[in-house]
Amino acid sequence: MDQVILVDENDCPIGIEEKLKAHQEGKLHRAFSIFIFNSKNELLLQQRAFGKYHSEGLWSNTCCSHPRPKEKILDAAHRRLQEEMGFDCELKEIFSFVYKANLDKGLIENEFDHVLVGRYNDQPVINQSEAASAKWIDAQSLIADMQNNPKQYTFWFRECLGKVLDNIERKTIIF
């Protein structure tokens, strides 16, 4: 069984828990969200696989997951990007945030989420057990669709997209 790193409000590890149990009980745990942009500043979206333990079929950022016990965020991010989307690239952490949300299937997401960005210009080779689909989209089209269809997007993606795009627009991120 997959395990997650339980953390306090400062992201200091306080224990290990089985992933599903942590989500059933809403325990705060470490996670990461990756946003990959191409040279046209389009964002690579992932549609979560149907059959995922929560948020199945919803659109989200390029990749999101949890580090394993004793695994560094950046190492985990590279591992999961390759496993889910079939490629790897340079990644940079730009901010972190905490959120809590009631999800489908009676699960509770309570994460200290590290947000990373990277650049990639080819098409992904998605792992069908992780992602049903993927597509590149420009920010304006994405924002319009999210306003019209918010329930088609994951909670955490809706929570942090604005700050990611603000960093891109202000050119505070150097790729």
Burial class (CB in 10 A: 0-12, 13-18, 19+), 166: exposed
Going along 53-173, which residue ranges are E strands?
59-60, 63-65, 91-102, 108-119, 131-137
**Residue 90 annotated in active site:** no
**Residue 89 annotated in active site:** no
Report how far residue 11's alpha carbon sits from residue 20's, in angstroms, rounded to the nearest whole number.
Answer: 20
76 within 8 A of 83, measured Cβ to Cβ? no
Q: φ, ψ for residue 51 (rounded to 5)?
A: 110, -5
Catalytic residue, chosen from 63, 111, 130, 160, is: 111
Catalytic residue, chosen from 64, 84, 109, 130, is: 64
Active-site positions read 64, 111
